Chain A
Amino acid sequence: MYSYSGFDSEFIKERTRQFREQVNRRIKGFLTEEEFTPLRLLNGLYLQTHSYMLRVAIPYGVLNSEQLTQLAFIADQWDKGYGHFTTRQNIQFNWPNLVDIPEILDSLAGVGMHAVQTSGNTIRNITSDPFAGAAVDEIENPLPYAELLRQWSTDHQEFQFLPRKFKIAITGSLNDRAATRFHDIGLRIMLKNGQLGFEVSVGGGLGRTPVIGTVIREFLPKEDFLPYVESVISVWNLLGRRDNKYKARIKITLRELGSKEFQALVEKRFDEIRNTFNGADSKTLEDIKLQFSSVQLIEMPLGNYQNRHKENQGFRNWVKNNVTEHKITGYTIVTVSLKTHGNTPGDATSEQMRMVANLAKQYSYDELRISKEQNIVLPHVHRSALFDLYSMLLKAGLASANVGLISDIVACPGLDYCKLATARSIPLAKELGVRFRDLDLEQKIGILKIKISGCINACGHHHLGHIGILGLERAGKESYQVVLGGEESTETSNIGKNLGPGFSKTEIVPVIEKLVNIYLALRLDDAETFLETYKRVGITPFSKEIYQEFPRRKKNA
């Protein structure tokens, strides 16, 4: 993986120094909150419901053990002993004090980390495939390109006061695990006549108005990578609405202008600026690639694996659900589920972080990834090590064999933490996890992705859940709407369809349970997943039965 150069370290050092000054001026009263807010937003510091919240960048989700250990240290030293991994592969600390922020940033800088551009109207963390560099279906590792984008977008002179935030995702696999079609810019690595390039989509997003991105360039040669991305953002920077923050995202600009017109403007801008790049970026890319390909995966015998697998049911289950094939024979990709039944999705204690950091160092060539499903991926684990790894995870309570299953719930922090929220998401996630564990149905149900958002901003990505739940407020009480059939795969991106009127907090868990029972009754066989059944039968069989059992009172005319 990439390690900081002197340039990166110096940049962070200077940036931290500047922010320390700004915090001091704020505390002393030389800056008002109005003046301080944009400054703190440039550095990832929010003021949330109960406390400040610091969002630390984890570039394209990749960490080494030293970094994760430092995050654990920060959690213990300056927070309440835990951190929250987000649906954009970052980490949030919920309880820092303002006075401690400069120290925390220094602590992060010490391991090549920061909170720059994790908030504000700027280019945010570049997200990618948690299986990058290891997946069987990979065309090429997207991470070097993600790193190039990270460098290019950091402190970009033109793009830190955009009309709104800007999110870029990149994938290098045939199966898009980065949901690129749901980002402001989505990049998919392609091969054309043996040449490497990108399919570029623009204007995807979730939130109030979920929309699938439009491809504006079917093949972008890799040499044109940065100039083209710059062109898209340059065009939008001038055209994006600044009078209405709900209409400012590029997806709205694309809709209002028309994608053909937008595409033409981008191509024109691209012609104007492409020759302002002298090719140094290509050289940098090659250097970055060397760093990413420096991992030499050693061939080893399988050892005791087969026997352990045969003897141990728990291990077998865990391998079945949490372990994925690796492109190198003998190796595997392990997803460590943070979704212990009844836990808050995405939360990890400092102890758990230290444990996983050590495991990554020992078993995964000192590399780990945070997935947007809020789990931790160990990308290069040899099969012979799986049982030992599993045993360690079991001892630490991190061996839930539920990746992709119904209790592997994705949820935003919701009303419990977030100022923007309209309902709580965490208690619902906890209750659902416990319910389905107690029913002992998880393995039988199979792949079923539940995603929960605590408000219309959809940070829980509920539009993309097989079952998506949106928490709203109705007459002062929490009200939950259900959508079905969301999908973020490569061929078929689908936004979930609304089941019907919302449910109260006491109804929602029984409703989900009922949905599962309807599915189990309708499915052709064990192999047909919830999503497949839904696609086959449509929404009506579900909505009909649900609203029969949970009739809604008709609104007054």
Chain B
Amino acid sequence: MRENNCANSTTKNKTRRESCLIITDSGFETEDYRVDFIDVTTDIVPQALSKLRDSRAVRINFANFKDGRGFTLARLFRLEGFKGVLRAKGDLLPDQYSMLRRSGFDELEIADMVVERHSKAAWLAGINWHSHHYQKRLGSSLIREP
């Protein structure tokens, strides 16, 4: 919406319900709070993130769907040897689910309202992330070859 000297609209300040879903390859689940996540944001430097390498669970919070730093952070984190649960959180796009999995994330935490907006079917398409994976086909992986 272009600005034409009008006051900013109030619809931008939407209040969102906190209700989230967790998306994994098995589908949609609600949060069961069994696991304690250490939260980090995507402006963390890889060296700081690697200090968490022995943690059980880490959650990387994406600022928005345009914030592609999380993918590289996850990749580097796995390379450091992180073996725990790696979760992404943010209002991402369905197309990004497979990117998350391929980068080393295990799951995505996302507002269920956002899930519905794109339709559950759109999200489920990403569960097929092993297929059509160019980078894997070229021999690139998340871990170092011995």
Bound: A22/B125 CA distance, A: 12
Q: Is the CB of A281 within 8 A of B66?
A: no
Stretch in A50-58, A156-164, A252-260 touching the partner: A156-164
Q: Is the CB of B72 within 8 A of A284?
A: no
Tell me, yes or no, whether B71 is within 8 Å of chain A by CB: yes
In the complex, what's the smallest C-beta–C-beta distance from B61 to chain A, in angstroms? 14
Bound: A273/B141 CA distance, A: 9
Q: Which of A237, A272, A276 contacts B140 (CB under 8 A)?
A: A276
Q: Is the CB of A38 within 8 A of B93?
A: yes
Known contacts: A18-B95, A25-B119, A30-B119. The answer to whether A281 contacts B145 by CB under 8 A is no
Tell me, yes or no, whether A154 is within 8 Å of chain B by CB: yes
Chain A residues near B140 (CB-CB < 8 A) = 152, 226, 230, 276-277, 281
Chain A residues near B46 (CB-CB < 8 A) = 238
Among residues of B, the one whose C-beta sits closest to the C-beta of A25 is B119
Tell me, yes or no, whether A441 is within 8 Å of chain B by CB: no
Q: Which of B79, B96, B103 contacts A273 (CB under 8 A)?
A: B79
In the complex, what's the smallest C-beta–C-beta distance from A47 to chain B, in angstroms? 13
Tell me, yes or no, whether A278 is within 8 Å of chain B by CB: yes
> From residue 275 to 307 of chain A, which have CB atoms closer than 8 A to chain B?
275-281, 284
Tell me, yes or no, whether A478 is within 8 Å of chain B by CB: no
Among residues of A, the one whose C-beta sits closest to the C-beta of B104 is A157
Known contacts: A25-B119, A157-B98, A161-B67. The answer to whether A238 contacts B73 by CB under 8 A is yes
Among residues of A, the one whose C-beta sits closest to the C-beta of B69 is A238
Stretch in B15-23, B24-32, B33-41, B130-138 touching the partner: B130-138
Chain B residues near A242 (CB-CB < 8 A) = 63, 66-67, 69
Bound: A18/B102 CA distance, A: 18
Interface size on A, residues (CB 8 A): 45
Tell me, yes or no, whether B53 is within 8 Å of chain A by CB: no
Q: Is the CB of B72 within 8 A of A275?
A: no
Q: Is the CB of B122 within 8 A of A276?
A: no
Q: Is the CB of A30 within 8 A of B117?
A: yes
Interface string of A115-159 (1 = CB under 8 A from B): 000000100000000000000000000000000100110111111
Chain B residues near A10 (CB-CB < 8 A) = 131-132
Q: Is the CB of B142 within 8 A of A276?
A: yes
Known contacts: A38-B66, A157-B103. The answer to whether A152 contacts B79 by CB under 8 A is no
Tell me, yes or no, whether A42 is within 8 Å of chain B by CB: yes
In the complex, what's the smallest C-beta–C-beta distance from B52 to chain A, in angstroms? 16
Tell me, yes or no, whether A545 is within 8 Å of chain B by CB: no
In the complex, what's the smallest C-beta–C-beta distance from B126 to chain A, in angstroms? 9
Bound: A11/B98 CA distance, A: 13
Q: Is the CB of A14 within 8 A of B132?
A: yes
Dominant SS among interface residues on chain A: helix
Tell me, yes or no, whether A100 is within 8 Å of chain B by CB: no
Bound: A226/B135 CA distance, A: 10
Q: Is the CB of A158 within 8 A of B139?
A: no
Bound: A25/B143 CA distance, A: 38
Known contacts: A158-B75, A238-B72. The answer to whether A226 contacts B138 by CB under 8 A is yes
Interface string of B99-140 (1 = CB under 8 A from A): 111110000000000000111011001000001111101111
Chain A residues near B99 (CB-CB < 8 A) = 157-158, 160
Q: Is the CB of A155 within 8 A of B134?
A: yes
Tell me, yes or no, whether B76 is within 8 Å of chain A by CB: yes
Tell me, yes or no, whether A507 is within 8 Å of chain B by CB: no
Q: Is the CB of A38 within 8 A of B137?
A: no
In the complex, what's the smallest C-beta–C-beta distance from B2 to chain A, in angstroms? 11
Interface string of A15-51 (1 = CB under 8 A from B): 1001001100100001100010011001000000000
Q: Is the CB of B138 within 8 A of A151?
A: yes
Chain A residues near B63 (CB-CB < 8 A) = 242
Among residues of A, the one whose C-beta sits closest to the C-beta of B46 is A238
Among residues of A, the one whose C-beta sits closest to the C-beta of B139 is A280
In the complex, what's the smallest C-beta–C-beta distance from A243 to chain B, in angstroms? 11
Among residues of A, the one whose C-beta sits closest to the C-beta of B71 is A158
Among residues of A, the one whose C-beta sits closest to the C-beta of B102 is A157
In the complex, what's the smallest C-beta–C-beta distance from A350 to chain B, in angstroms? 32
Tell me, yes or no, whether A504 is within 8 Å of chain B by CB: no
In the complex, what's the smallest C-beta–C-beta distance from A43 to chain B, in angstroms? 10
Bound: A304/B45 CA distance, A: 69
30 examples of A-B residue contacts, CB within 8 angstroms: A7-B134, A10-B132, A18-B95, A21-B121, A25-B119, A31-B117, A39-B95, A151-B137, A152-B135, A154-B134, A157-B71, A157-B102, A157-B103, A157-B135, A158-B71, A158-B103, A161-B96, A237-B68, A237-B69, A237-B72, A238-B69, A238-B72, A242-B67, A276-B79, A276-B142, A277-B145, A279-B139, A280-B138, A281-B138, A284-B137
* List of 3 A-B pairs having minimum Cβ-Cβ separation, nearest first: A280-B139, A161-B68, A157-B102
Given contacts A157-B135, A158-B72, A234-B75, 19 further A-B contacts (CB under 8 A): A7-B132, A7-B134, A10-B131, A31-B118, A38-B65, A38-B66, A151-B138, A152-B134, A157-B71, A157-B75, A157-B101, A160-B99, A161-B66, A161-B67, A237-B72, A275-B144, A276-B145, A277-B139, A279-B139
